Amino acid sequence: MNPTRIGPFVLEDNLRPDGKGSVFRGFHTKQRRNAAVKVLSAPLAAASVSACQEFSQEGKTLVELRHPHIARCYGGALDQMQGYLVHELIEGESLAALLARRERLTWDSALEITSQVCAALEHAHSAGFVHGLLSPEKILITEPLGEVKVLDFRVDRHSNPFTSTAAPSDNPFAYLAPEQLGSQPTTTVKIDLFSLGAILFHAISGQLPHQASTREEMLELRRTLRPPRLSSLALDCPVWLDDIVAQLLEPEPTDRPYGAGAVSLAFREASKKVTQRTGAVEHAAGGFSPLRRSLDNEEAKRLLGVNEVEPKPERRPFRIAIPGLLENTLFLVGALVIILGLTVWGFWPLSEQQLFDRGQALMATEDISDWNRARSSYFEPLLARFPDTAHAEEVRRQVDRISMRQAFNRMKLNYRLTRDPRSEGEAFYRKGWLAEEQGEETEALLVFRQMLREIEETEDNRPFLLLAQDRIDELSKQLLARPPLPEKSTDQDALIAPDVEESSVPPEKKTSPETP
């Protein structure tokens, strides 16, 4: 039975169309405002003080996750051991309802929706969040603007004792990545990318990549049976978009795109094609994509229909038929050369300088999403293709900056959520960071110096070692810049209360600091 009240909210309509969801339209009785209230079940394990503290911290953490395409969370609370999260109330239609009504979308409409979803994922991933349950039900298309909002981000969804009270959907495994279906599920940003690919596949083709009734069956299908090519199910789907979806649906996480930033870049390039309304030949042949940088010549000729070009016969006197044929042939050859030249030019990779300049332009911003895109789309390809580049030192420095910022954000998030550090370097750096936060700069400096002496430089530790070196340099400057203490100053002088007059202090204590 659905609850009617929780905390300061009177719960009204169930926001799931079938009435079996856990999100309600709530009315705040004091503030006289509406909100979306997600009610969570609380098993016995959640009755512990630590679990309640973690849930309270989760609400505070979710408040900080803000993006134009993410439904805003206002926090969470407990009411008689039942948890609830409060979100902004958004009027609109879910992508699931839209697909149920229309069955499938045109590829450009699906791309417009999923591009906004990808932007939300890029921001969330850079902040340390993984959705873990992305599906058309979690994607809302607002009214009347038609903007996309991703719903229901959680912190550590799969290990969180506070779970949704909603009835399971008809296809609970339809959009889950294979690594989520095993006996020991893993949670990385790659699971959201797989779900994004499954959603895009469904939206364009009108069918799911795989159909199964149990978790075990779905896992077997995910691992052994590749879904059909999207362009074979939706003939209007461009080959380059088909390639992106296929890579998103790779069973191995390492074979999927590096991150949401790379996919966002590919989608932006695709959006340019939509805006420019490129022709059918270009739609088929594709164009630049950060996920695909090569094209087979025979495939290009087949898609461009080189062997199918036949000039229409002209009614001319016999005496000029042969010259006309020659003229037409020369014209067709010239046109073919131009078309193939443009095709090759479109796939021609960026130069060494172009890769460097574009990466540097993104690094000039303070947006972590831009930084991630600079690394995945420009700096890493630059080092891979031009290992001896003159920009190598600067590029590696920028890559280190990105890794340091990500490591610092992850360390703070783990601390706020009372998680254990994930590496020895993170544990050491957290200790120094906390000392500095408490105003103990000298102690922090000692911790950071000890860290450089004792911590081995591994892939996980390197960003924290670089962060420690930065703090050593900065703290050393700050301590050197401080004015020296007066020569007669003593520890005992510092213990004198500020409201005590100097004359009231016994002379022997003032002149003899060693006197107990």
Whether omega before 506 lies within 30 degrees of 0, making that bond cis, reads no
> Which pLDDT score, from 0 to 100, does residue 489 have?
42
- Residue 415 CB partners (closer than 8 Å, separation 6+): 430, 434
How many C-beta neighbours within 10 Å does residue 201 have? Answer: 27
Tokens 């420009």 found at = 378
Dist. CA 467–CA 436, nearest whole Å: 13
Alpha helices, H only, 291-423: 297-304, 318-347, 352-363, 368-374, 380-385, 392-416
Tokens 């199964």 found at = 212
> Which pLDDT score, from 0 to 100, does residue 470 have?
92
- The CA-CA-CA angle for residues 452, 453, 454, to 5°, reads 100
Amino acid at 259: G
Task: Give the 3-state secondary structure percentages of the chain, helix then strand then coil, rounded to 5.
Answer: 55, 10, 35
Tokens 């999207």 found at = 230
**487-504 pLDDT, tens digit each:** 444 443 333 333 333 333
Which domains are present in the chain? 5-87 (3.30.200.20), 92-302 (1.10.510.10), 303-347 (no CATH), 381-481 (no CATH)
> Which pLDDT score, from 0 to 100, does residue 356 have?
92
Dist. CA 229–CA 207, nearest whole Å: 12
> Which pLDDT score, from 0 to 100, does residue 496 have?
30
What is the reported pTM? 0.57
Q: 75 by DSSP, 3-state: which?
A: strand
> Which pLDDT score, from 0 to 100, does residue 515 have?
36
pLDDT under 70 in the chain at which residues?
1-3, 19, 42-48, 144-145, 165-170, 270-331, 333-335, 337-348, 417, 482-516
- The CA-CA-CA angle for residues 167, 173, 176, to 5°, reads 120
